[in-house]
Amino acid sequence: MGRLQEIRAEYNQNTITVYQAYNKTIALPAIKNNRFEKPFSFNRMTWIKPSYLWLMERSNWGLKANQEYILAIKIKRACWEKALSLGVLTHPDKEIYANGIEWESLFNEAKVHIQWDPERTLRGGKLQERSIQVGISRFLIEEFNNEWIEEIADYTPLTRKIHQLKTQGKHKEAKRLLPNERVYPLPQEIEKRIGVR
């Protein structure tokens, strides 16, 4: 049996792909320039997710208001691992933190928040396995935007195609178009810090 909490992602030697959903005012300039610009908010946390199907559940396949564009953001693996190494879980996991007071102190100072949520199937069902989402705080967001991002690709047409096939009951065809996500290898100390198990 595999782990219940592990990072599955599309990645290569240099980059890992994470997903976000935005409206066209934010998405179109980002796709054009491979960078975010206002009205993207640099003053609050932005959440990035390596699970495509988790974002599909969250954005209802790009049908929710202000989430119509699905962006695949390729960021440097070294930066991704830096984010994880700074991460503090959004809840006081007893296997990681001595007590709630220690966790609260770390959490309040954290530049990166880590949350684990049930992974999803193509049909939207919850799986036992949990998928990671990573919150980049306003203290790191400029660095994320200026230094971490290699490319921002528009996955909106792909998403519409998969959703159309799914709606038509063509689940096998839809599944073939999904991003190829596999277990992302991490140093043991990072795994321990973020609760991979």
Is 32 a domain residue? yes
Token representation of residue 178: 């999904």
Per-residue pLDDT of 45-93, as tens digits, reads 999 999 999 999 999 999 999 999 999 999 999 999 999 999 999 999 9
CA angle at residue 10 from 4 to 13, to 5 degrees?
A: 115
* Residue-range definition of the domain harbouring residue 82: 8-187
Is 1 a domain residue? no
Total structural domains in the chain?
Answer: 1
Is 94 a domain residue? yes
What gap in Å lies between CA 103 and CA 88, rounded to an integer? Answer: 8
Is 128 a domain residue? yes
89: left (phi over 0), alpha (psi -120 to 50) or beta: beta
Per-residue pLDDT of 132-183, as tens digits, reads 999 999 999 999 999 999 999 999 999 999 999 999 999 999 999 999 999 9
Report which residue type is found at 13: Q
Within 8 A by CB and 6+ apart from 94, the residues are: none
Is 110 a domain residue? yes
Interval 121-127 mean pLDDT: 95
Per-residue pLDDT of 178-192, as tens digits, reads 999 999 999 999 999
- The three-state secondary structure class of 193 is helix
Interval 21-36 mean pLDDT: 98
Distances (CA, A) of 149 to 35, 54, 172: 7, 21, 32
Dihedrals φ, ψ of 40, to 5°?
A: -55, 135
**How many Cα atoms are found within 13 Å in the side-chain-facing hemisphere of 115?**
13
Is 3 a domain residue? no
What gap in Å lies between CA 130 and CA 117, rounded to an integer? Answer: 5
pLDDT for residue 2: 58
Which residues on adjacent β-strands are paired with residue 3?
none
Q: Is 77 within 8 Å of 16 (Cβ atoms)?
A: yes
Is 196 a domain residue? no
Is 137 a domain residue? yes
Task: Say whether pTM exceeds 0.85.
Answer: yes
